[in-house]
Chain A
């Protein structure tokens, strides 16, 4: 008798149990919606960039868009070749990486292999502060400090130039590269270092020939994410690099990047669905595809080439 009532109790849970279960389901689906919002944002980015820019390709052929060497969509006669903007983006990014990769890697090697715990505790927050400076402040710094300084060295340097913008952008990326690389280097197990020291290697030889190759997947992924950051950087280049779209790989020139063009057009009041409005979405679409490719390669490198110890 007692047993049967117990099994009845289990088979027919009281109201409280039902409510509790419903509440659990409700909370879980609410949290699921939160997580799904990320996917929704990604879809929204793709759909909006796609639908808003599709109108442009009714007037301009895709071929002309990607191979044209003149970009003047707001003038008569309008030209829609995106290569000048891509060229500006690549040049400023290259200068930035030329600064950020050597400095970032050196700092990472130094912090992980040479520096004492005390130095590390002080240097890392400083680097974090450098990473936290708003980009518009960096832009101001590039335009009104770095450019005049460079003009002392190169008197012919124009007021807007890719060199100053790229250099400052490089300094901005240093903390990202150094902290990601350092994490990768510090996860290299100590046995490898000890083996190297036992064979008579110095700290530098250990760092360069043992730790760096062992951490290379993490280090290279930090480089690639740095590239993606440089390609997407907006304010520094639109303040300091100039707004003329032209094909030039000379750092001393002024040239517009893809991001600077979007800012330039947005500052004017463009009517919805006009051709200028469509061009910024087309440029944005190319931009997001480029960074997406870099990010995917970066994360893939990190995951698939991780050394197993």
Chain B
């Protein structure tokens, strides 16, 4: 009995044993947590390495400035790169104003009633609709009902539907974070509601909205499925008309009607071919695509970091 009281030389008491065991399993779980993060991180690294090892030799100026070609070594991504940029332009030009408008209405104007609940549920559900369904909607509505064809306009509008919920949610969160003292101060100075919203709320929310918009666009630029369903071409050996013309009226919208291809579609086309040379092309296109999305994502992450650091209410 006396020996069990001296802690150093004897076996541990049941309580000490239990503490030790529980601590050990707790530490084991922490290791499991680190391991899980490592799996995610390793996947990311493996993905980037695989792309670079296979695609880096192909990644040169010639690849960026050539059109698609049946000969793998001559093919490039010029048409896809230009197509992606133009489609994003249409997407941003439509989704951003509508999304911000919707977000403002839902936060500042709407009366709380059944109708507001309906719109609320709608926005959350739209964010969860699979992207390919938007493609089917575009196929039936834009291509066959509005007769817009397989054009840059159709593609831009399709992706705008996809980005819209993201912009709305970002706008609402940004507006909600602004303290009501700011609204009251604006009203106290005699501002009308729209003056308060557009001259005070919107500028303050701008940074956060911009972050959301960039994240939404970075998702849209990598979207493939909805554009496959509307029938994007993969073999395009010309550029659409330039939006800026040398003659009167200097701005042309002919490019909106042009057939197009985009980076993810070009990559999908190359991946699905059996020849290994085209898979090299796919990897190179993947590097370009991944760099674009990562760049947009890091801008967004940096912006958010700066805003969180500087903004103190």
Question: What residues of chain A have their CB less than 8 Å away from a CB belonging to chain B?
Answer: 20, 23-24, 27-28, 30-39, 41-42, 44-45, 48-49, 51-52, 102-103, 106-107, 109-111, 114-115, 123, 125-130, 132-141, 143-145, 171, 174-175, 201-205, 207, 225, 228-229, 231-235, 239, 259, 262-263, 266-267, 269, 272, 280-281, 284, 287-288, 291-292, 294-296, 298-299
Report how far A37 CA is from B126 CA in the complex, Å: 11
Contact residue among B37, B99, B101, B140 (Cβ-Cβ distance under 8 Å from A110): B37
Q: Which residues of chain B come closer than 8 Å to A204, judged between CB atoms?
A: 22, 25-26, 29
Q: Please list the 8 inter-chain residue pairs (A to B) with the smallest Cβ-Cβ separation, ordered nearest first.
A: A232-B130, A110-B33, A134-B222, A34-B101, A204-B26, A31-B105, A234-B225, A48-B140
Interface residue tally for chain B (C-beta within 8 Å): 89
Please report the C-alpha to C-alpha distance between residue A109 and residue B129 in the assembled complex, in whole angstroms: 28
> Mind listing 9 A-B residue pairs with CB under 8 Å?
A114-B33, A137-B286, A143-B271, A207-B29, A234-B130, A239-B272, A287-B130, A294-B128, A298-B128
Known: A140-B286, A145-B50. A132 touches B22 (CB 8 A): no
Beyond A37-B102, A134-B290, A140-B286, whether A287 also contacts B132 by CB under 8 A is yes
Chain A residue contacts of B134, Cβ below 8 A = 45
Chain A residues lying within 8 Å of B130, measured Cβ to Cβ, are 231-234, 259, 287-288, 291
**Contact (A128, B297) CB under 8 Å given A35-B110, A45-B137:** yes
- The secondary structure that dominates the B interface is helix
Distance of A51 Cα from B109 Cα, bound (Å): 35
Question: CB < 8 Å: which of B128, B271, B282 contacts A225?
Answer: B128
A202, B47: Cβ atoms under 8 Å?
no
Chain B residues within an 8 Å CB radius of A231: 130
From B118, B144, B215, B224, name the one whose CB has the most chain A CB atoms within 10 angstroms: B224
Residues of A within 8 A of B41 (CB): 126
Contact between chains at A45 and B129 (CB < 8 Å): yes
A contact residues around B121 at 8 Å (CB): 299
CB-CB under 8 A for A144 and B222, given A106-B32, A280-B229? no
Say yes or no: B293 contacts A171, CB within 8 Å.
no
- In chain B, residues 211-245, which have Cβ atoms closer than 8 Å to a Cβ of chain A? 215, 218-219, 221-225, 228-231
Residues from chain A with Cβ under 8 Å of B145 in the complex: 48
What residues of chain B lie closer than 8 Å to A24, measured between beta carbons? 192-194
CA distance A127 to B36 in the complex (A): 11
Residues of chain B lying within 8 A (CB to CB) of residue A129: 44, 294, 297
10 other A-B residue contacts (CB within 8 Å) besides A110-B32, A262-B229: A24-B194, A42-B126, A48-B140, A49-B133, A49-B137, A129-B44, A134-B223, A137-B51, A140-B267, A291-B130
The verdict on B54 contacting chain A, using a C-beta distance below 8 Å, is: yes
Distance of A123 Cα from B39 Cα, bound (Å): 12
